Amino acid sequence: MLQKNLLNESEIAGRGKREVRRSAKSARHSFPVGFPQVSRQFSQDIYLCINCEMPFAGEAFEEFVAAYLRYVKHYLTRAHVECKIERKGTKQARWSDIDVVGIRGNEAIVVSCDEHCRKEKRKIMEELKRAEEYVREEYKVVKVDKAYAFCVAENPNKDREKIRSLEDEGIIILTFTGMVKEFWGHLREHVEYGKTAGKFTEPILWALREMDEIRSFFPPNEDPFSPPSVEDKSKLSKTRKIIIEWPGNGK
């Protein structure tokens, strides 16, 4: 019954039932060493729960960007928006998707999300152009802002040039660290920490609120979440730096 209830089009988010079932057949073998051996049916149900309810690879960042636009910028948002794109010179259309769409009154924003800043500028501009055309037609808005969101950029020289070029085209740049800082500013302004009103069921807001509250107990020069240095963690040479912030995040 559990398996039957989970297998529907909306929850599988675009993945065919046959594909999910086929992947689920080997799910038992993907559990960690020492995990209790369970029946094949139960292991398939667990696999289906995980893969139907959680974002697929790359989509988690899109969900975060959508939450940022929803809670901080006050848009109505959707992530992973499927749409049909007409092929030039033909009457045929193909399925595509828009990473994030936000609607606020008669204005909209479309976002191309790129967790590790690896998309080429040409692809980003094509994605945003298609997204703008779709949103104007579908929602009849009068203004559409276009944005590019990334978490870390691992090729500083090349990526700086790409990001500057995108800004010259009028594209808004959003960074993960910038969005987190704005989230914290929004929470501090609107939520009194430690009170019932500050309790969230939204996982992103809950995690950010708890992290910020924990940090408030430490001196400014101490960070309870301080990680190992980037160079040691990713084995990058010390002459290479990773871009995690960009001036004027989204402004």
Instruction: Write down all domains in the chain, each with its CATH number in brackets.
Output: 2-53 (no CATH), 56-251 (3.40.1350.10)
Instruction: Quote the pTM value.
Output: 0.71
Our CA dihedral for 120, 126, 127, 133, rounded to 10 degrees, sits at: 160
For the sheet containing 76-86, what is the strand order? 76-86, 93-104, 107-114, 143-150, 172-175
Q: Give the residue among 183, 215, 198 at the shortest CA–CA distance from 67.
A: 183
Q: What is the pLDDT along the chain (251 residues), one digit of tens a residue?
A: 333 333 333 444 444 444 444 444 444 444 444 445 555 555 555 555 555 555 555 688 999 999 999 999 999 999 988 887 666 665 666 677 899 999 999 999 999 999 989 999 999 999 999 999 999 999 999 999 999 999 988 888 889 999 999 999 999 999 999 999 999 888 888 777 666 555 667 788 888 888 888 888 888 888 887 765 544 455 555 445 677 777 766 55
